[in-house]
Structure 1
Amino acid sequence: MPYMIETFDKPGTLDLRARVRDEHLAFLAENAKLLLACGAKLDDDGNAAGGGLYVVALETRAEAEAFIAADPFHKAGLFERVAITRWRKAYLDGVSYLPPAQP
């Protein structure tokens, strides 16, 4: 069952995020097969809001922890906090993954 990983940047780290961004994007490309969804959190004006969200196809919390620990953003000390939660895929891109209703 997939995991949702939400990250929260430390205050005042936009410069650090920009410096490490290319390494982070390369990490995501290397792990694309695990990514069900991934992206930066934005404010209502579309500006960076200091964190991101990953939905990863991993089976255990230990795998999710290892995944985020290997992210260059994490290695650079960007994150103030990381929340890891199991996630059940119900809909993805408008496709239902729910079992059929029982009569």
Structure 2
Amino acid sequence: MAYMIYQLDDQAVAVGEAELARHISYINALGPRVRMGGPLFDEAASQPKGRLIVADFDTRAEAEAFVAGDPFRQSGRIKTVTIERMSIL
């Protein structure tokens, strides 16, 4: 089943290059289960404000565990998370 993971950042929490690399590696480890994803940008400033990931998980619990293990989540960078089951057209 596909799940949409919509995350918004706490802009007060800085992200270093090493943490960004760990975050990207973490997502890439899902391999072909990732259907699409990428950073979300503020219209006024071209700074990332969060990310959207659509990936296949067997259960919502697996999607939640994936979010919990994200290096950005563990560092406090992610402020809000919305997880929704969805259908890919």
Whether the TM-score (by the shorter chain) exceeds 0.5 is yes
- Measure the CA separation in 2 of the matches of 1:82 and 1:53: 10
Structure ID, larger Rg: 1
Unpaired stretches in structure 2, ≥5 consecutive residues: none
Unpaired stretches in structure 1, ≥5 consecutive residues: 91-103
Aligned to 1:94: none
Shift of 1:50: 1.3
Instruction: Read off the aligned partner of 1:34 and give its amino acid letter.
Output: R
Aligned to 2:12: 12
Query: Normalized against structure 1, the TM-score is what?
Result: 0.76
The alignment covers a number of residue pairs equal to: 89
Matches within 5 A, 1:1-103: 1-13=1-13, 15-16=14-15, 18-44=17-43, 47-90=46-89
- Measure the CA separation in 1 of the matches of 2:64 and 2:43: 29
For each residue in 1:30-71, what CA deviation from the matched residue of structure 2 results, as whole angstroms up to 9, or x when unmatched? Answer: 112221011000133671241100001112110110111111
Q: Which has the higher contact order (CA 8 A, sep 6+)?
A: 2
Q: Could you say if the C-alpha distance between residues 49 and 89 of structure 1 is closer, same or farther in structure 2, counting changes exceeding 3 Å?
A: same
Q: Could you say if the C-alpha distance between residues 43 and 69 of structure 1 is closer, same or farther in structure 2, counting changes exceeding 3 Å?
A: same
- Measure the CA separation in 2 of the matches of 1:48 and 1:37: 20
Write out the 4+ residue segments of structure 1 that deviate beyond 3 Å after TM superposition. Answer: none
Instruction: Read off the aligned partner of 1:9 and give its amino acid letter.
Output: D
- Measure the CA separation in 1 of the matches of 2:50 and 2:16: 10
For each residue in 1:66-101, what CA deviation from the matched residue of structure 2 results, as whole angstroms up to 9, or x when unmatched? Answer: 1111111111111111000011101xxxxxxxxxxx
